[in-house]
Amino acid sequence: MSKHIGNQTIKFDLPPSIIETASIVGPKEGKGPLARYFDTILHDPLWGEKSWEKAESKLVNKSIEKVIEKANITPEDIQYIFAGDLLNQLTASTFGIRNYDIPFFGLFGACSTMAEGMMLGAMTIDGGFADYVIAEASSHFCSSEKQFRFPLELGTQRPLTASWTVTGSGAVIIGKNNNPPYITYITTGKIVDLGIKDPMNMGAAMAPAAADTIVTHFKDTGRTPNDYDLIITGDLGYVGKELALELIKKYNYDIENIFSDCGIEIFDAQTQDTHAGGSGCGCSAVTFCGYLYKEMKNNKWKRILFIPTGALMSPGSTQQGETIPGIAHAVVIENQLG
Amino acid sequence: MSKHIGNQTIKFDLPPSIIETASIVGPKEGKGPLARYFDTILHDPLWGEKSWEKAESKLVNKSIEKVIEKANITPEDIQYIFAGDLLNQLTASTFGIRNYDIPFFGLFGACSTMAEGMMLGAMTIDGGFADYVIAEASSHFCSSEKQFRFPLELGTQRPLTASWTVTGSGAVIIGKNNNPPYITYITTGKIVDLGIKDPMNMGAAMAPAAADTIVTHFKDTGRTPNDYDLIITGDLGYVGKELALELIKKYNYDIENIFSDCGIEIFDAQTQDTHAGGSGCGCSAVTFCGYLYKEMKNNKWKRILFIPTGALMSPGSTQQGETIPGIAHAVVIENQLG
């Protein structure tokens, strides 16, 4: 029997469990509204390292160490790590993971990477290929600004549509069907590019992909917004969230009352000067591993649709006048089965 | 029943079939020893585009179009594309794939990416998640030199340990168990870093990872070199191949008589001035999709071990004095089952 339903969705017969999560964030995230949900809050974004890139690798390394420790298992119990980040050639992940003797799949989905890892991790468990896998994603404000925008030292002014890259790493352990919460469905996104060119407005570039994946998820599964307690995108921010809402309404689905965005939840835009909201692979990763997972455990929500979003451009593609392709992947997390 | 055997290996109960392959290469590869195996040979590395990066995206796009056409199916039959390249933020792949309405998993494994895609593709098929998937990987000499080394216009002299990035894209369609050849085992590599720092000698940096994965494959499966007609690494080149051979001998396995490397096969080092050999994601991708697949179909070999290798560094990590972590993934391709 095929587990593939509709066009882009997999329904897991025996849904994998999210066994444990861990999150480490930077000082700014540690002053935001979700502070109490994070396992570790750094006082110094360099974390004793000589570069921001090395600090980001340390975030990767330590969040994986933490989630293994919290799950009360050992690195030998983990068959695969799925991980990615925003740095050129994925060096935050590869340097952060190299001391683990664990087979590694490097992923790039821009800020949708946490979902990409959770999807592949859940497929690996459901397919009978592993007992435990880790999915992890990270970003760092300083390494991202340096690589994608301007040197921090310039103090360049940011437009209000720009997002603030989250400093943080989130790691989950996915295992065989056991205790809740479970990953019950995944809807893998395709690339959607409606021609947005402004890298200072990535929310607008990603909104069509988010809308496409959410609507496809409803069509593939036959579910409606009423079936969810929370639908939360990755890092559309204030601008992209409104656009996605409008696009989804055109398909006659109204998700307004249950719709949020990790980039909006993680900072207080009024007091933290984060403009459009948080972004980066770490944004949806730590919001899931901290806030969403822990409140699922508290039964605040019974069923959520989690949709990390990615803007698939590079500084080079923007310099060559290219538009910004977007992608969004949806993962359903539920506390009750069937 | 777990399909995971030993430490890092999966044995497929009903091995997925490699349904079809397609390869497109640049002019230099088209003058090399494997020229007759490639589907398309370009006369111009820009392929009518305005930049090398856009030309590389066109390689991605057209190799996918070609493999679907050769398999006599349609894009709607493909459930997932697994793809990656060497460019920052994977833009060769994302821009090359954006016009396909197919769910996309972006991968980064440096020059091991073709194996990463084939492994995840085979797991996706065997797990019952799809009927057909595509795994694709690309590189382009000019975009790589520009990004990783020096502007071509400088005419910088290259040390003899340096490799020559292959211009090319290879795409495979993997489907359910049907006709040979089959993917029967995969051994996923872990990151191995023995402290090599010279980015002009990536063969030496990747050799320990290749040796580790090959030896682990033998231990996990109980197979020996005698079980294979050919063991072929990705892009160790002349320097790395000798090092890997020595390392593997220390574990009392002698693979010398059946050991080759895609980076050695693809160019004639004597006449083509390619020094250590070919490299880049495209190197193992087009060598597999052209030479290896077609000669498997001809029954030249009954069983091969294909081990694409990756050097997981970036220009930034090298500038910060970091070593070069390596990774290698092994895929077993066989013409006969059981």
Residue where a domain terminates, one of A137, A158, A175: A175
Span of A211-225, A309-323, B142-156, B302-316 with lowest mean pLDDT: B142-156
Q: How much is the pLDDT for A32? A: 98
Chain B contact for A97, CB < 8 A? yes
Q: Using the CB atoms, write b or e for B82-115: b if 16+ within 10 Å.
A: bbbbbbbbbbbbbbbbbebebbbbbbbbbbbbbb
3-class DSSP state of B55: helix
| B117 and B216 belong to one structural domain | no
User: Is the ipTM beyond the 0.90 threshold?
Assistant: yes
Residue where a domain terminates, one of B123, B152, B175: B175
Q: How much is the pLDDT for B2? A: 58
Instruction: For chain B, give the number of residues.
Output: 338
- Give start and end residues of each alpha helix (H) in chain A: 52-70, 91-97, 113-126, 141-148, 202-221, 237-249, 262-265, 269-272, 281-287, 293-297, 315-319
A22 phi, psi to nearest 5 deg: -145, 145
Residue B9 CA to chain centroid, in angstroms?
Answer: 18
How far is Cα A156 from Cα A142, in angstroms, rounded to an integer? 13
In a domain, A194, yes or no: yes
Q: Comparing C-alpha atoms, which of B20, B94, B82, B29 is closest to residue B56?
A: B94
**Tokens at residue B54, please?**
């856009």
If you ran DSSP here, which 8-state letter would residue A291 be given? I
A180 phi, psi to nearest 5 deg: -70, 165
In a domain, B5, yes or no: no
Which stretch of DSSP H or E encloses residue A302? none
| A105 and A57 belong to one structural domain | yes
Q: How much is the pLDDT for A338? A: 75
How far is Cα B4 from Cα B42, in angstroms, rounded to an integer? 42
Q: Which of B93, B108, B126, B217 should be substituted to probe chain A, the one whose Cβ sees the most A Cβ atoms within 10 Å? A: B108
In a domain, B2, yes or no: no
Q: Are B220 and B5 in contact (CB under 8 A)?
A: yes
| B195 and B166 belong to one structural domain | no
Q: How many other C-beta atoms are found inside a 10 Å radius of the C-beta of residue A43?
A: 8
The beta-carbon neighbor of A105 closest among B2, B103, B116 is B116
- The torsion of the CA quartet A18, A19, A25, A31, rounded to 10 degrees, works out to 80
| A171 and A257 belong to one structural domain | no
- pLDDT above 80: residue A15: yes
| B94 and B186 belong to one structural domain | no
Instruction: For chain A, give the number of residues.
Output: 338
Pick the residue from chain B with its C-alpha nearest to A97: B191
Q: Are A133 and A173 in contact (CB under 8 A)?
A: yes
Dump pLDDT digits (tens) for A242-259: 999 999 999 999 999 999
| B40 and B122 belong to one structural domain | yes
Chain A contact for B104, CB < 8 A? yes
**Residue A139's CATH number:** 3.40.47.40
Q: Comparing C-alpha atoms, which of A337, A54, A309, A95 is closest to residue A196?
A: A309
Q: Using the CB atoms, write b or e for B35-53: b if 16+ within 10 Å.
A: eebbbebbeebebeeebbb
pTM, 2 dp: 0.98
| B198 and B146 belong to one structural domain | no
In a domain, B66, yes or no: yes
In a domain, B125, yes or no: yes
In a domain, A50, yes or no: yes
pLDDT (mean) for A221-225: 98
**Tokens at residue B167, please?**
């211009």
Residue ranges of A 196-215 with Cβ closer than 8 A to chain B: none
Residue where a domain terminates, one of B175, B198, B224: B175
Dump pLDDT digits (tens) for A133-192: 999 999 999 999 999 988 888 888 889 999 999 999 999 999 999 999 999 999 999 999
**Radius of gyration (C-alpha) of chain A in whole angstroms:** 18
Q: How many other C-beta atoms are found inside a 10 Å radius of the C-beta of residue B336?
A: 11
For chain B (338 residues), the mean pLDDT of every run of 10, in chain order, is: 87 96 98 98 97 98 98 98 98 98 98 98 97 98 92 88 96 97 98 94 96 98 98 97 98 98 96 95 98 98 98 96 97 94
Dump pLDDT digits (tens) for A65-74: 999 999 999 9
In a domain, B330, yes or no: yes
What lies within 8 Å, CB to CB, of B260 at 6+ separation is B230, B231, B232, B233, B241
| B203 and B167 belong to one structural domain | no
| B62 and B153 belong to one structural domain | yes
| A131 and A198 belong to one structural domain | no
What lies within 8 Å, CB to CB, of B80 at 6+ separation is A188, B102, B103, B104, B105, B121, B124, B129, B130, B133, B134
| B171 and B279 belong to one structural domain | no
Q: Which of B49, B77, B133, B191 should be substituted to probe chain A, the one whose Cβ sees the most A Cβ atoms within 10 Å? A: B191
Domain of B33 in residue numbering reads as 14-175
**Tokens at residue B36, please?**
């007759």
Instruction: With cut-offs at 50, 70 and 90, classify the pLDDT of residue A2.
Output: low
| A165 and A18 belong to one structural domain | yes
Contact A312 B106 (CB under 8 A): yes
Chain B contact for A8, CB < 8 A? yes
Chain A contact for B319, CB < 8 A? no
- pLDDT above 70: residue A333: yes
> How many distinct structural domains can be found in chain A?
2
Q: Are B275 and B240 in contact (CB under 8 A)?
A: no
Alpha-carbon torsion B132, A205, B138, B39, what sign? positive
In a domain, A2, yes or no: no
